[in-house]
Chains A and B, each alone.
Chain A
């Protein structure tokens, strides 16, 4: 697989380490009244879509960027990749 790194262009997937669903960016508020429940869901509950999936990849053998890669889990087609810190920044 090839991953289109936003800074470095197409890079082989072997250079990356996979983590999982990009929902891990949304760490709950630890001070919320239902923080325990929210953290339980954050930690353990994931969607497992057959189709479009936003997921986290770490360019471990490269520039050490965390990327959010949008991938079709059925075809492995990669629809895009962005720096996680940009995505997180845009959300904030």
Chain B
């Protein structure tokens, strides 16, 4: 164990965990990374391309190397950064991207082949032959170059999504974020403080003496005050990962990732936070300095090394060295020295840099040794080299502010010469104010003031006056940084550890003219993958700038997009999976149908009864044939509630309907129903239904189930946007009324038993009549004598809550009449047998003329789509709806088959149409179909071939009338 004194871990609580099957101990407050270091585990992963041994380099979410798989089975999560995985008892972690063991990875052979794997290698090499890509190259590359693996099992965890609103969102709970939240919350504003860590404080937790008092005391005082402020919500373990339009931010809260037994808690919650203002206090990420073989486990960021020592009381080695181009590296040396760690040397190329108590060399690190972990570094000074023994090397090349979120809305980062880094520039998300490091502040003292002032300014915008709090005295040192972007040399020097991009790769990109930053990124993969170049981007740009001789500002930077850190797809779904994927609508008769053992089918959001199998029926066809025949010989009952119902009222209701239906509706008499067809404005048929006039100024129109929403929207568009002068009001009543179709020769007899003294005789209530009435002793109802099946039929509507009772009553009292419930399958067979169009025929590519309804489009009035329906191309359309029946009754009819003349070539040029709907007709005794056929009306009685090339099927069909049942329409009028 390499534990030091102090730290913010709870030594009284030991936690047991495993890594690659081996058991270790850590403490509460540890991350997986700190606990592994404390157990002298430095090798934590293999690199993406070359499979080089890698150790942790950072202490936060920027970590590119220490990616592990957590948990097992379906819970396995790949690519988790060990630096942010909070340790819990029983945590199981495994290394990834290796074949064999982590210590002996068979794919490390890639490292020997590295001369072949230079930038652009994949693009150049795997182009030909083309067919090899999918079968050979891609699977091999995916296996060799990659990160963790997926379980391929459904995610067993629960997730949630929530909405929050506030005056001010403070992103980051470090020095600047804490003073910002404190200032704003004291002023009474609604404030949310979100921090990705499990402990507030940011870098304050990683430093030995940032304030004039112990930092943890100051933070504890603030947290105590926060707890008493109901207008402040503190969200720990919450990463704000993206800025969206109008002050909306996306955040993920890791609710139970850190718990050994989460119980019933969700794993993570997706928050959508709507803000008036936001402060970006996300701090800065240290960058390293590329030098030869700088990727060995043990080489890490100097600030991370300090954080491990101060916060987690661990040093990666007993003897360490520091390589720095600024004063921050010396701070690490001092802190480690104070903790009893031996400082082998501090290598600092700046003249006259030195520190008390350790050796300072004015030079560069130019090489390293140690196969699975650092053992020695080569230091070159004044042209002379020496090897220095050390188990770890801290590297500090300066700090890059975490400005990602400030650049989400085309915000352009600005180069800060003093810091030699990009800071937040103008044009970012509206209402987002950078504070602390993101605004170019580099000391703790500056950060504290900057956070408070940013909050004061944000609230002033909102008309809230805030007072600056008293702040502690704090560290206020300049970095005194001298730019050093890489140490020149012949060996590979890594810039981007996760993607194995070296200085040489950037040079190659330069030579191959991939110089603009976007090209550089894609050619070399610099800054891609899970870390999105947090530790490498700016360094890579600087190397390119050096090559082109341009400034870094004019070299530019790639644009950051959400997410700031990886976000699981599961949490983006917010738990909306399986049956929660979308709303599920149940019909009013659902309970009853369930009790009858109905099989249900999803129709849009609706669950509709598909068929009602009975004991002894072994196939769905048996059930459907029985339901069809029962309807045609007795009476069938079907829930048709899902059809859209729109109540249209007003003095101009008739005029309005005249304008939206292609046929006339104003002339419809009160108490009567008419079939109606709506066109789109482009002249094609859109939707059909019935229009019932219940009173002088009241119509009820129906739409197809699929178009209920869109037709309602369209009618409101017509009403509000085209003809606001009309006196007409609309309301959707689809869910208000339960509607049942009662169809078959016994329909009248059955209904007579439930209506309250209403005369159903053909004379007083003829075909296409409608009425308001009462049923079952006073229940208000609507009755429509309309038929989709071709039988004597009615649709009866009652308030939705009575739907279940009504179908139960009808089936019960209609037993002697053969009353039979039927589902959507039978509904389909009945309407195909009758030749009624449905969604398959009204597919958006067909016209009224094709449906045989060309004459319905009134020329006496204007209506939506009327003008364009008279277009030359549409008028010239010769395909019409026909019935189709196999010549050999044993042959199938398959929807989607295309129609050709017998003996004709089966190609596009000779295509005569297609089959839209097909079913087995118990009435006809064979399969039948509907379809569109060229000059179909002239081909009645002819034979035609239906080709189904998908199944190499050819069936000879006879062209017949689409009305297989009762073509004269006598039954419906009986």
Which residue numbers of A lie inside 8 Å of B, CB to CB?
1-2, 12-13, 17, 19, 24-25, 27-28, 30-31, 35-36, 39-40, 42-44, 56, 58, 60, 64-66, 75-78, 83-85, 88-89, 92
Contacting pair A30 B721 (CB below 8 A): no
A42 to chain B minimum Cβ distance, whole angstroms, is 8
> Which A residues lie within 8 Å of B720 (CB)?
65-66, 83-85, 88
Q: Is B870 interfacial (CB-CB < 8 Å)?
A: yes
B634 to chain A minimum Cβ distance, whole angstroms, is 42
> Which B residues lie within 8 Å of A12 (CB)?
274
Q: Which of B681, B713, B724 contacts A17 (CB 8 A)?
A: B713
Interface size on B, as a range, is 20 to 34
Measured in the bound complex, the distance between the Cα atoms of B245 and A77 in whole Å is: 8
Measured in the bound complex, the distance between the Cα atoms of B721 and A60 in whole Å is: 15
Q: Is B67 interfacial (CB-CB < 8 Å)?
A: no
> With A36-B871, A60-B713, A88-B720 known to touch, is A2 a contact of B246 (CB < 8 Å)?
yes
Within 8 A of A (CB), among B224-273: 244-248
Contacting pair A43 B681 (CB below 8 A): yes
Q: Is B219 interfacial (CB-CB < 8 Å)?
A: no
Q: Which of B682, B721, B866 contacts A84 (CB 8 A)?
A: B721
Task: Across the interface, name the chain B residue whose C-beta is closest to A39.
Answer: B867
Q: Is B212 interfacial (CB-CB < 8 Å)?
A: no
Contacting pair B245 A30 (CB below 8 A): no
Contacting pair B713 A40 (CB below 8 A): no
> Which A residues lie within 8 Å of B837 (CB)?
none
Q: Is B868 interfacial (CB-CB < 8 Å)?
A: yes
> With A1-B245, A30-B862, A76-B245 known to touch, is A39 a contact of B721 (CB < 8 Å)?
no
Task: Across the interface, name the chain B residue whose C-beta is closest to A40.
Answer: B868
Measured in the bound complex, the distance between the Cα atoms of B409 and A44 in whole Å is: 32
> Which A residues lie within 8 Å of B716 (CB)?
58, 64, 66
Task: Across the interface, name the chain B residue whose C-beta is closest to A42.
Answer: B681
Measured in the bound complex, the distance between the Cα atoms of B726 and A89 in whole Å is: 11
> Which A residues lie within 8 Å of B759 (CB)?
none
Contacting pair A35 B867 (CB below 8 A): yes
Measured in the bound complex, the distance between the Cα atoms of B866 and A31 in whole Å is: 11
Q: Is B717 interfacial (CB-CB < 8 Å)?
A: yes
A28 to chain B minimum Cβ distance, whole angstroms, is 8
A20 to chain B minimum Cβ distance, whole angstroms, is 11
- In the complex, 22 of the A-B residue pairs with CB atoms within 8 angstroms, ordered by the A residue number, are A1-B245, A2-B245, A2-B246, A2-B247, A24-B717, A25-B722, A35-B867, A36-B867, A36-B868, A42-B681, A56-B717, A58-B716, A60-B713, A66-B716, A66-B720, A66-B721, A76-B245, A76-B246, A84-B720, A85-B724, A88-B724, A92-B724
Task: Across the interface, name the chain B residue whose C-beta is closest to A35.
Answer: B867
Task: Across the interface, name the chain A residue whose C-beta is closest to B719.
Answer: A85
Q: Is B629 interfacial (CB-CB < 8 Å)?
A: no
> Which B residues lie within 8 Å of A42 (CB)?
681
Could you give, for residues 706-742 of chain B, a 1 whenever the CB lies within 8 Å of some chain A CB and a 0 otherwise? Answer: 0001000100110011101100000000000000000
Within 8 A of A (CB), among B792-824: none
Contacting pair A19 B717 (CB below 8 A): yes
Could you give, for residues 842-867 of chain B, a 1 whenever the CB lies within 8 Å of some chain A CB and a 0 otherwise? Answer: 00000000000000000000100011
Measured in the bound complex, the distance between the Cα atoms of B868 and A24 in whole Å is: 15
Task: Across the interface, name the chain B residue whose C-beta is closest to A31.
Answer: B862
Q: Is B158 interfacial (CB-CB < 8 Å)?
A: no
> Which B residues lie within 8 Å of A31 (CB)?
862
Contacting pair B248 A39 (CB below 8 A): no
Contacting pair B724 A89 (CB below 8 A): yes
Q: Is B430 interfacial (CB-CB < 8 Å)?
A: yes
Cβ-closest 7 pairs across A and B:
A85-B724, A30-B862, A1-B245, A2-B246, A85-B720, A76-B245, A66-B720
> Which A residues lie within 8 Å of B248 (CB)?
1-2
A92 to chain B minimum Cβ distance, whole angstroms, is 7
> With A30-B866, A36-B870 known to touch, is A58 a contact of B681 (CB < 8 Å)?
no
> Which A residues lie within 8 Å of B246 (CB)?
1-2, 76, 78
Task: Across the interface, name the chain B residue whose C-beta is closest to A19.
Answer: B717
> Which A residues lie within 8 Å of B868 (CB)?
36, 39-40, 43
> Which B residues lie within 8 Å of A30 (CB)?
862, 866-867
Could you give, for residues 311-354 of chain B, a 1 whenever the CB lies within 8 Å of some chain A CB and a 0 otherwise? Answer: 00000000000000000000000000000000000000000000
Could you give, for residues 693-711 of chain B, a 1 whenever the CB lies within 8 Å of some chain A CB and a 0 otherwise? Answer: 0000000000000000100
> Which A residues lie within 8 Å of B245 (CB)?
1-2, 13, 76
> Which A residues lie within 8 Å of B725 (CB)?
89, 92
Measured in the bound complex, the distance between the Cα atoms of B245 and A83 in whole Å is: 22
Measured in the bound complex, the distance between the Cα atoms of B111 and A53 in whole Å is: 55
Measured in the bound complex, the distance between the Cα atoms of B164 and A12 in whole Å is: 13
B140 to chain A minimum Cβ distance, whole angstroms, is 43
Report which residue of A13, A17, A43, A77 has the largest number of chain B beta carbons within 10 angstroms of its beta carbon: A43
Measured in the bound complex, the distance between the Cα atoms of B868 and A52 in whole Å is: 30
Measured in the bound complex, the distance between the Cα atoms of B716 and A17 in whole Å is: 12
Contacting pair A27 B430 (CB below 8 A): no
> Which B residues lie within 8 Å of A27 (CB)?
722
> Which B residues lie within 8 Å of A84 (CB)?
720-721, 724
Could you give, for residues 669-681 of chain B, a 1 whenever the CB lies within 8 Å of some chain A CB and a 0 otherwise? Answer: 0000000000001
B575 to chain A minimum Cβ distance, whole angstroms, is 17
Within 8 A of A (CB), among B893-942: none
Contacting pair A24 B867 (CB below 8 A): no
Measured in the bound complex, the distance between the Cα atoms of B245 and A58 in whole Å is: 19
A67 to chain B minimum Cβ distance, whole angstroms, is 9
Q: Which of B274, B681, B717 contacts A66 (CB 8 A)?
A: B717
Within 8 A of A (CB), among B372-431: 409, 430
> Which B residues lie within 8 Å of A78 (CB)?
246
Task: Across the interface, name the chain A residue whose C-beta is closest to B872.
Answer: A36
Measured in the bound complex, the distance between the Cα atoms of B867 and A2 in whole Å is: 38
Measured in the bound complex, the distance between the Cα atoms of B409 and A36 in whole Å is: 43
Within 8 A of A (CB), among B776-797: none
> Which A residues lie within 8 Å of B721 (CB)?
24-25, 56, 66, 84-85, 88
B723 to chain A minimum Cβ distance, whole angstroms, is 8
Within 8 A of A (CB), among B1-56: none
Measured in the bound complex, the distance between the Cα atoms of B681 and A66 in whole Å is: 18
Within 8 A of A (CB), among B418-473: 430
Could you give, for residues 288-323 of chain B, a 1 whenever the CB lies within 8 Å of some chain A CB and a 0 otherwise? Answer: 000000000000000000000000000000000000
Q: Which of A58, A76, A77 contacts B713 (CB 8 A)?
A: A58
Measured in the bound complex, the distance between the Cα atoms of B870 and A84 in whole Å is: 29
Measured in the bound complex, the distance between the Cα atoms of B722 and A56 in whole Å is: 12
Measured in the bound complex, the distance between the Cα atoms of B724 and A76 in whole Å is: 29
A33 to chain B minimum Cβ distance, whole angstroms, is 12
Within 8 A of A (CB), among B574-619: none
> Which B residues lie within 8 Å of A66 (CB)?
716-717, 720-721
Measured in the bound complex, the distance between the Cα atoms of B246 and A25 in whole Å is: 27
> Which B residues lie within 8 Å of A24 (CB)?
717, 721
Measured in the bound complex, the distance between the Cα atoms of B867 and A30 in whole Å is: 7
> With A27-B722, A35-B867 known to touch, is A43 a contact of B682 (CB < 8 Å)?
yes
Measured in the bound complex, the distance between the Cα atoms of B274 and A83 in whole Å is: 24
